[in-house]
Amino acid sequence: MTFAHLWQQGRWLRNATVTIDPQGQVQSVHEQGAAGRPGTPPGQIVPGLTLPGMPNAHCHGFQRPLGALTQRAAGGDNFWSWRETMYALAASLDAEALSAISARCYLELLRGGYTRVAEFLYLHRLDAARLGALEADAAVAAAASLTGIDLMLLPTLYQYADFGGAAPRAGQLPFVRGTRQFLDDWRELLRRYPADGPVTLGVAFHSLRAVNIDTIGTVTATLSEEPRCQCLHIHVAEQMSEVENCIAQHGQPPVALLASRGLLSARWALVHATHASTAELEQVREAGATVVLCPTTESDLGDGVIDIGEFLLARGSMAIGSDSNIGRNALDELRVLEWSQRLSTRRRNVLADPQQPAVADRLYDGALQGGARAFGPQMGASAADFVSFDGPSGDWSSLESRDYLSALMFDSAALQAQQVMVGGRWVIRQGRHAHEEQIETHYRETMRRLGRIQGE
């Protein structure tokens, strides 16, 4: 496969021929230069600008419908009030609805430049009594299979409403599991999703509010020798009240508490860390853990702005995620990240690096590397995952190649990938997905049905 312009580690290759093996791994990349390979038919050259597909390290696919439903003021709106609408949506979902919503979300993520997704899944049983079969994972896996996105399932332990073992609220009950049940469910997932299959597995803890620190330690130790558990994820320090309550309960803020218990390592991904201190971020960096930032969701929820500049300058690991899916485009996430830093520091090009002065290239490369770490060692760096944006996407064709990615990230409106390859297989060609009509119809029918349910 030959790409007209292929970005690789901060450099654009002209007429780059990529050799892909039957397992969907890149074997070699050879630049032909401006002249191209003699005799290559134009139809065999992918036009436009091609990037390596971005890993989406944090996603709640079921929250996709919330965007427009949560933008009307009701007085005192904040993260905690937003949760009430999210709880109502979660309570209304059956397996069919979850699959339809997730498929629509995943197709949009593919168009937005993501080729793999870590689904932070605290839904598990979807019947009204929450006592039936484990089915949420199967609904999500079916959606991923239909769209072609690469899926990592992160079954999520969720037990309490707040620090100190506060009883879960009614809206949280669909997420709650005992520790023994969670580990039994984990063993069932190992059976359902074999090691050589398309779905990989990790484990998530919702937060230090929702899971006691001792339980996190116990589950982590139990799974420490399990090779199929690729990684460990947790929401952390997203809200100031969470930090304050953690200090009141444990005498330490969240990241410091995890570090004090020996729970930070390269296997860990800490989602948000918005209100982590400079010292805590240094603990994350020293442990080799990854911070997963979700700037469009963090902006939408009013979480705050992380002070991430020094962490990145010190070569801390950073990934991105779509989280609530208010934004579903990888380049948008990185643009909002840089813009948030500009607003908080009143400077420009804040996250540039002395070795990489182009912010777009620096952030994209960093998020690729951090995303790979957040997915664990099995991901590797050689998967044939590519996303291509055609000529109309910005003014790149009139620029020097060093500014191509800047044009895509900072100067292109409503950017959508026209060609998407996952694991060596095309899932979107010339802007079309083979199942897009089916996905759209099913989603629309589901939203109409949920609207009737919520209106009763």
Q: How many CB atoms lie within 10 A of CB 353?
A: 16
Instruction: State both tokens at 80.
Output: 């905690």
Structure token pair of residue 141: 């896996």
β-partners of residue 421 are 386, 426
Backbone angles phi, psi at 138, to 5 degrees: -65, -35
Residue 250 falls in the annotated catalytic set: no
Number of other residues whose CB lies within 10 A of the CB of residue 217: 14
With beta carbons less than 8 A apart as the criterion, state whether 19 and 27 touch.
yes
**Tokens 């593919």 correspond to what residue?**
110
Exactly one of 272, 275, 433, 442 is catalytic; name it. 272
Burial 86-120 (b: 16+ CB within 10 A, else e): bbebbbebbbebbbbbbbbbbbbbbbbbbbbbbbb
Q: Is 272 a catalytic residue?
A: yes
Residue 438: half-sphere exposure toward Cβ, Cα within 13 Å: 8
Question: Amino acid identity, residue 31?
Answer: E
| Distance of alpha carbon 324 from alpha carbon 114, whole angstroms | 15
The active-site residue out of 323, 361, 385, 403 is 323
Q: Are 284 and 276 in contact (CB under 8 A)?
A: yes
| Axis-axis angle for helices 136-147, 95-111 (nearest 10) | 40
Instruction: State both tokens at 162.
Output: 């707040």
User: What are the distances in angstroms from CA 56 to CA 72, 83, 121, 159, 456?
Assistant: 28, 22, 14, 26, 36
Question: Could you tell me which of 231, 243, 358, 351 has the C-alpha nearest to residue 295?
Answer: 351
CA-closest candidate to residue 79, choices 321, 256, 330, 274: 274
In sequence order, what are the residues at sequence separation of 6 or more whose Cβ sits closer than 8 angstroms to the Cβ of residue 106?
A: 61, 117, 143, 144, 147, 149
Q: In terms of Cα–Cα distance, which of 39, 47, 43, 54 is closest to 15?
A: 47
Instruction: Give the phi and the psi of residue 119 in degrees, each rounded to 5.
Output: -90, 110
Residues with catalytic roles: 272, 323
